Structure 1
Amino acid sequence: MKVITEPVDLSKVKNFGTLEYVLDKYSRTWSWKVTGTRAVTMVSRLIPQSWYGEGPNEAIIPDSHQNVQQIQWILERYPMEILSKSTWHRKISKSSTPQIKLKKIEKLSKATPSKQFRGKLYNFQKEGLDFLLKSSGNALLADEMGLGKTVQTLAYLATEKQALPALVIAPLVTLRNWQREIGNFMKKKSRNGRLMGREVPSSTVIRKGKSQEIGKFDFYIINYELLEKRLADLSQLNIRSIICDEVQNLRSKSTKKYAAVKKLAALDSVKYRIGLSGTPIYNRGSEIWPIVDILRPGLLGSFKEFCEYFCYVNDKGKAIVLENKRESLRSELCNHVMLRRKKSDVLKELKDKVRYKEVIDSDSTYYNKELDKIWKKLEEEQKQAETEFDKSASYHRAIQSERQAAGVAKLPHVINFVKNIMEIDESVVVFCHHRAIHDLLHKSLSEYNPASIIGGQSDNLRQLQIDMFQEGKTKLMIAGLRAGNVGINLTRAKYVIFAELDWSPAIHRQAEDRLHRMGQKNTVFAYYLIGNGTLDDHVAKILVDKSYEIDSVMDTVSESFENKEKAELILAQIQDKLNSAQQIVTN
């Protein structure tokens, strides 16, 4: 079945089953009986309270206000023959609600937040608030990094009626920042609805995996990794809203954290589900399905239907969105669930972001020697591998070892490059991937007293390092790509250097936008350092392919990588040593 991406005359579409109001002989209550394979499948996914009837293609649904709403939503996507028409029309007239109705989000206005919100919104943020209100709080806010998604969300929670208590699910490094922002932008409301201007909403950061009673708060803040362990506790809190920050963490439907969020989002008490991310797609366009299926279940059909209509499967078994379907997928998202603005659209005063590709020398003798060791070890491990998992794990270890070898091989020239930038007395941020490279950079550039962000830091130490850099106490920040790419503001710098490359283009964009965001007054220059004679070129080519697919789904046009003045074409059309690099990979 095709996922509906354009107007369809449902009268011409066949019925997928039947809907009948019956007295269930087991529960002895009046219930809704659904028949038909496709219809029963959707019911089992969307209505946890349902159970199978006398056959596998028959489902029984308890008659409740919420279940009638869910059945109506299913009917809009999967027409069924209604056998109890008068009862259905009577029930649906009482249960009608815009939250589940599939309708296009019309032109946005500049909404005014309630008095519980203590901040000030830009005009485009007021439109973001209007979008969340018109989406009935079930939406994906996909503004580019640096446009204030957190603030817009807090404005919504302050304005929407009975939106608290709220559960905020976010990366570990951003939990304390969420707690600070809640205090900065929201006032506490008493039980009788009176605003307490000097007080802030109560909140707790959940940091322990051991099951125990949590207590009553306005906000519960937890990281994705703890969700499964605290699922039972969180399910007892009568949560009204779920906020998934950096929602790309849910891009895989096979993970435990996805399953936990899916269960929480299906709770009767939960009315509002908001996903936040400037990069909801990390690698492939098909990653958008699991995210949307939590925020607006069924909008894109089942995963199988989504893939059948929008995707093809490549030789590695990955679902890739077809080039001629990317625009229609983007249209479906923007019409019903997603708001996406770029900084260039709404911040006219924000300067440009320019990318440079810099091919630097590397120690080819060291690199080739290490590469030989890596491939020999890989061959040996592949022979000894007893399972496909062992083979896959061995291959990934080899790739990571090669990436680190490339980082070490070009390190002396990376250091020289950084020193040359530092000589012009500007603040600089250097991103790297491996801890070993991070330590070597920190040691080699110690004369600049660099600030440091790396995995494993405490919240207080991390914030201390950020403040030291932002306050000008040091002009150099060395950060891990996956530790320093979210939840921080580094607008003091206008130069960002990538000493190593990650496999995901979204990681680089997030890192760039720690600098290129509201508050930045200068053009941001991003230098990608490509080690001559290493596999950096091959990695860069993969990044270009992924970026093109992501841009086609998320934005009307692909992001331009064109030069400005002396800037070379970055992360595109890389040909130097590409053929030889590919040969190394395949041999």
Structure 2
Amino acid sequence: MILRPNGRFGERRRRVLAKNSQFKNAAIWAFLSILHRISPFKVGITLWKRVGFQKETVTVHITQSTWLLCVCVCVCVSVQDAGALTSVFLRPLEGMEALDMMVSPGRVPHDTVALGPLLKLCSGWQRPGAAVQGQCVLVSPARFEVDVGYHADVIAAFKQTPSRCYDMNTRKWNFALEDYRRLSKLHPASAEVEPLPRGVVQAFRARFDGTLVRPLGVPEADLSAVDPSLTSSLMPFQREGVNFAVFKEGRLLLADDMGLGKTVQAICIAAYYRKEWPLLVVAPSSVRFTWAEAFRRWLPLLEADSINVVVKAKDELRGGLVTIVSYDLLSRMDKQQQAAKPFHVLIMDESHFLKNMKTARCKAALPLLKAARRVILLSGTPAMSRPSELYTQVLAVRPTLFPRFHEFGLRYCNAKQLTWGWDYSGSSHLGELRLLLQESLMLRRLKTEVMSQLPAKQRKVVVVTIDTVGARTKAALGAAARELAKQQSNKTKEKEALLVFYNHTADAKIQAITEYIMDLLECGREKFLVFAHHKTVLDSITEELRKKSVPFIRIDGSTSSAERHQRCELFQHGMGSCVAVLSITAANMGITLHAANLVVFAELFWNPGVLIQAEDRVHRIGQTSNVDIHYLVAKGTADDHLWPMIQEKMNVLEKVGLSESNLSDKALSASFHSKVSPCLDTAFPDTGAVCLGHCLYRIQGKYVCVAFTIYRHHVCVLPSPDTQTVCVLQ
């Protein structure tokens, strides 16, 4: 039995009270509370002196500030005795009330037979001084290790196990999982060994039972029902990811490194379960429209009105077959969640956003995850700093492994009980946790593992939204777009109008740009480059980074040569996170920043050669990783005109042999749908871009069409997804 000082009072406070004679006895009684631990049998009480126990039944453990009592003493304490002190909480052994064993103080039974029924309530109780303690730990998918002190009876039990193996380096015994239950029955009463968690036993049940019959590796999934254009585009490791998801019945955490195509894998997995749709995609706000474009690209047979992008909390959550919503909007749509039918297939992009169970976004997402049949979590950094951040994702995919966080925290977070509560910020048994995740729910591949299948440089177009800009900015954009349309017959004036449109686009994209950069930082990106052209954009980015206390360097036209070198050295050799904010025209050459492998273009530029030079600040000799290039584009802005122009120029240079890089659709991991439509190439060539219902997707109940020609891009809002509707740019 154990008595522990009450955690509500510090050691210093107890000492002060003990010095005062009038509180001397109360200091012992009032500041002790009950502890009851099932294994080993330890019970703390506060009335040891009050009920008249003998000295030999009580021992004080100085270093741990605990009172150790003989096991037989517990039957001498009554609830009435405890009630005499309001600060004492007495919790009897579970089941003790059914035993007729109440003994008066001073009359302690020493007969083992008399105490037998009581001792049966105490699983794992041991005689003082005779026990050795240890624990079982999973060390491989097929074996577990027993870390326990030396005891002759324990070693004898180990030697009776057929699969025993003694590691001379670690001086620990390990056994096959098939012998786990056998060993549990053999271990002597003199040893107290903490078993493997129930979640581990559940995940490896086939190995524990010795019934593992499946072949090594994951079987090939039948993807015949998925669009062939999608399945044929998958790289070998991406196909393996889809196979793993199907093998896990559509419930997994896809933790591939950034740039390995988690989006296309998730869409393919969701398409495999097409019959169970509606599908909900929850993603950071900055990439909602990127997801809409990805569905249009990879599932071309998906009907136009099937994609519903939620942009306001008042929008309908079940407005389409595929609904895309941000985490923040989802947390503000509680009433719709309760009224709407459940989504059977869920994709949670950047699922580490759910790391804190107390946040509104997590509370909003967990009910949806609980009701879904298929749960696809995507994150390149599932945990940012500690194992506790993994729990909600484990709970979402495999809720039966660890139904309660405390159990997970004790095992893998080195949980400690402090004065104010439990601390779960530590880590423990990380090797076992990794094996558990890999077996039950997680698939993770690094770039170094699949580098041979990847191109050296991968470009990705990220479609950002500007729906939150002010009325003045919207009016300026609209006026610039109309002016550009009027000047199509005059090339000089058209270029001037496009330049004005380009300047207004910078102001419109600022908020979306800063949101995307913050999302990258939250996803664990430590070092990357951000290129922009306008000073207002560069200023806004650096100001936001300064507010968030994120280290950064800035190189623009005002930076001297000496400062350029110093700042590049700081970025290259500095430790920790750092963002390089660079001017496209001032920092596209003459510097080396290959400490990063990600480049973000916040704005486009007229000359594709300048963009390629800027990309090569990281894609150069000394770079050991694949390079990711992200172009941020916004619909309804000058980007609609600049991006097709850049594409065409670069493709021409590539065909002539003057550039080894191109910006064709095949070079992109996400599409902006700038591919020229054959029907639009010849239809109404003198009147501008014509909409024939191509590239439609649904936003706020309206059908938005995006149609390109070689020369320009057109956006129109249609009343219906009728493919025969014809709209001409005004």
User: How does the TM-score come out when normalised to structure 1?
Assistant: 0.46
TM-score after normalising by structure 2: 0.38
Greater C-alpha radius of gyration:
2
Greater relative contact order: 1 or 2 (C-alpha under 8 angstroms, separation 6 or more)? 1
